[in-house]
Every structure is written in C-alpha cells, then in structure tokens.
Amino acid sequence: MKLDKDRTKNRRRGEKKVKIKKCIFLFCSLLCIFLFSGCWDKQEIKHSAIVLGTAYDWLEDGSYLLTVEVVDAMGEEGGNVSSAVISGAGHSLTEAMTDLSRRMNRPFDWSHNNVMIIGRDLAEHGIANFLNLLSKQYPMRPRVYVVMSEGRGEDILKGKIGIEKMTSAGIAQMIQVQGKKSGHASKIFLVANFLEDCLNSSIVPVIPVMAVEEGQVLLRPYWAVIEDDAFYGFLTEEETKGAFWLRNLYAGEAMNIEDDFGNLYGLEVQSSKSRWQWEHGVDGRLQIQVSFVVESIVKEMNVIGNQNGQEMDVARLEQKQQEQILKEVQAVWRKNLHMEKDFTGLEQEIYRKDYPYWQQIQNTVQQVFADASLQIEIHNTILYTGNKE
C-alpha cells in the first residue's frame, strides 16, 4: 500500500511539473508575440522613392555624379506608374548621395535596384575599387547587373528601351532574356561575378557595353576590358564572339553566313558546347585541343539574283560556319597571348581539373600558352526546315 501511495505522489508531481512547463512555454510565447512582432520603425513603401537603377560618372572636376531612376510607389490616377531620373554630385560618394537626397522629398529604397551603370570616364579612372567601396557603404541586391556606358551612364538612364516606361526595368529584362537563351550569359552581368574576376589575377575582367543612339538604349555586341583596375579598351566584335564560343555563351545568338553565290542566311545557334583537353608533349610544350559541338537552324534567307533553281547546299553552309567560328576563336586566342591574360577560361579549367600541373606553371602560365600548340575541332550541324520560296 505504501509503495502504491509513493507511486501516486510521484506521478502527480510529474504531472504538476509538466503543467508548469507548459504554462511557462505559453507565457514566453505570448511575451514574444507582444515584444517581437510589429514594425515599430516601419516606413510605408508609398512614402519611399524606390530606386530601379543607378548610374555613376566621373566628372572633369574630379567629382562623382550619381544618377538614379526612381519610381513613384503611389502611382498616378488610373494605376499608371511614373518614374523620374534625378542626379546628385559630390567629391565623394557620401557627398553625392547627400546632394541627391536634398533633391528628393522622400527617403530612398534601394532594395529594388536592378542595374548599375558605370560611365566610361569613371571606368578609366578606376572601377573595381569603386565597386568594392560602394558595396560596403550602400545596400546592394545579390543580382544587380552591371554594365559600362560608352559615354555617360546618366545618358543610359535617360534613354528609352522599346515600349518600356522604365529604362532600368528594360535593361534588366534585356539581360534576363539573353541569359535565358544561353543559360549562362546573364552571369557575366552580375556585380558579384565581376568583382570576383577583378580579384582573380588569372582572368581578365570584362564588362558588357551599352550606348544610346537616337534616344534608344542598345546593348553592344562587344565587351570592355578592365586591366589594372581601369578601362583598358574594347574587345572587337570578332574577339568577343570568340570568347562567347569558348565560354559557352553563344547559344541563342544569331549568325549570318554567306554562301558561294552571295546568298545571306540568318542562323540561330540552338546549342553550343566547348571542351578543353591538354597533354604535355615529349618536347615539354603543352598540346591544347578545344572542341565544339554546335547545333543551328536557318531562321532567314536572303537570295539575291536568279540562281537558276540552285538549292541550298547545307553541307557547304556548315563548312562556312566552321570557318567563321574558327576565325573568331583564333582572334580571341591571339588577344589572349597579346595581353598575357586569359579571356578563354583555359587556366581556370587547368586549375580545376589538373591542379598539380597548374601549380607547376602558375608563375609562367602565359609563356606556357604562348609556346603551346592549339588545335581547334568544330562539329556543327545546320537544320533547315523551310523551302527556298
């Protein structure tokens, strides 16, 4: 009997402890709800100037020009959303930001910033350190696209893109469309990737280029080269295309091929894959082979004159495409050797796949590339589903 009473008492004590713990947990939960919920420092979005894009320029007097495209979150009557382009200047980023703030009657919201445009003068003055400083001082989204303007970055934000009401949104959409086509292209536009390339001594940082013609914003078919933290020059269109082939960025791009009769065919590259291989020759020279597998379709054809019913020779067209790809790849390889930097990504491939060998050549890698033999193989197919008429 005594043993049963002790068991009953212990059970009741245990039940009492459980109830006390539940009460404490419930009390703490209620306390957290009252203490940690709500927005005590809230700022209504309709009272903010939402920044969609920014442009940075370097002025002749040594000051910064900061330009933003902002959207009115309250909108206009009828649901139309309006945007405005506003600029501020100063001898430092902080001073330029202060000057910009004086021109607005609302605080800035940077969380929707899509694009960052670097003016050419600022790029010539120094770009990587500027972006590094900017990322530390001001909030930046992970997927902010960065481009360089042929002129002032301010002019890009003041330009138009088709029927887009807001230029910054149009630029971001343009980049995203190109990225979806190739699966890779949009990566080279990201600020984070660009800064990573700037910190990597084996890679030449490149940045896409935009310009304004007759009020319309255009994405140029070539890249700007950054050398020693400043704008160095442009890759030619041919060199840029060669880098696109080697970096697997060409899918979704267009090609124009002319046949032996002067007919012009517009191709769309459906897929493009490159593969590097290398081996150490008996003479100590590196033997490099890069192979491409390219699939394209004929999207358009412009037949000139009367070709007497001459049918399109697909095999000959494929040969013409091979010659054009070969020419573009050789052009960027020559640029590689001339600048003693890597536009092609070969050193990165060796680093990832043959690290012991990379350790041997890391201090003389460009001389090793200059002495190496390069073999290029292209396997391409062209599909034409239409008819000549």
Q: What is the pLDDT of residues 314-360, one digit of tens each?
A: 888 889 999 999 999 999 999 888 887 788 888 888 888 888 988 88
Rounded mean pLDDT, 46-67: 86
Phi–psi pair at 260, nearest 5 degrees: -70, -15
pLDDT of residue 256: 84
CB atoms within 10 A of CB 36: 7
pLDDT of residue 388: 47
Which helix (H) or strand (E) segment holds residue 346: the answer is helix 346-353
pLDDT at 152 over 80: yes
Which helix (H) or strand (E) segment holds residue 27: the answer is helix 2-36
Most confident of 241-250, 334-343, 375-384: 375-384
CB atoms within 10 A of CB 151: 14
Tell me the pLDDT band of 306, cut-offs 50, 70 and 90.
very low
Residue 92 CA to residue 89 CA, distance in Å, equals 8
Nearest to 379 by CA among 245, 281, 263: 245
Residue 151 CA to residue 65 CA, distance in Å, equals 13
When comparing pLDDT for 360 and 299, which is higher? 360
Q: Largest Cα–Cα distance in the chain?
A: 117
Per-chain mean pLDDT for the chain: 79
Rounded mean pLDDT, 16-38: 63
Using the structure block, give the residue that is written with the tokens 């360089």: 148
Residue 254 pairs in a beta bridge with: 268
pLDDT of residue 222: 85
Nearest to 46 by CA among 20, 5, 76, 89: 76
E strands, the chain, are 49-58, 64-72, 83-90, 108-109, 115-118, 145-149, 206-213, 216-227, 230-234, 254-258, 264-280, 286-302, 373-383
Tell me the pLDDT band of 73, cut-offs 50, 70 and 90.
low
E strands, 140-282, are 145-149, 206-213, 216-227, 230-234, 254-258, 264-280
Given a contact cutoff of 8 angstroms between Cβ atoms, the answer to whether 172 and 156 are in contact is no
pLDDT of residue 294: 93
Which of 81-95, 183-197, 267-281 is least confident?
183-197
Tell me the pLDDT band of 181, cut-offs 50, 70 and 90.
low
The domain defined by 237-383 carries CATH number 3.30.300.30: no
Residue 300 pairs in a beta bridge with: 266
Which of 21-30, 140-149, 235-244, 254-263 is least confident?
21-30
CA 1 to chain centre: 81
- Residue 202 makes CB contacts below 8 A (sequence gap 6+) with 341, 342, 347, 348, 351, 365
Tell me the pLDDT band of 4, cut-offs 50, 70 and 90.
low
Tell me the pLDDT band of 143, cut-offs 50, 70 and 90.
confident
Give percent of the chain above pLDDT 70.
74
Rounded mean pLDDT, 53-65: 90
Residue 298 CA to residue 318 CA, distance in Å, equals 11
Phi–psi pair at 239, nearest 5 degrees: -70, -40
pLDDT at 79 over 60: no
Q: Domain segments of the chain: what residues? A: 45-234, 237-383
- Tokens standing for residue 171: 């630029």
Which of 11-20, 119-128, 215-224 is least confident?
11-20
Given a contact cutoff of 8 angstroms between Cβ atoms, the answer to whether 88 and 99 are in contact is yes
pLDDT at 387 over 90: no
Angstrom distances, CA of residue 236 to CA of 8, 220, 240: 90, 11, 6
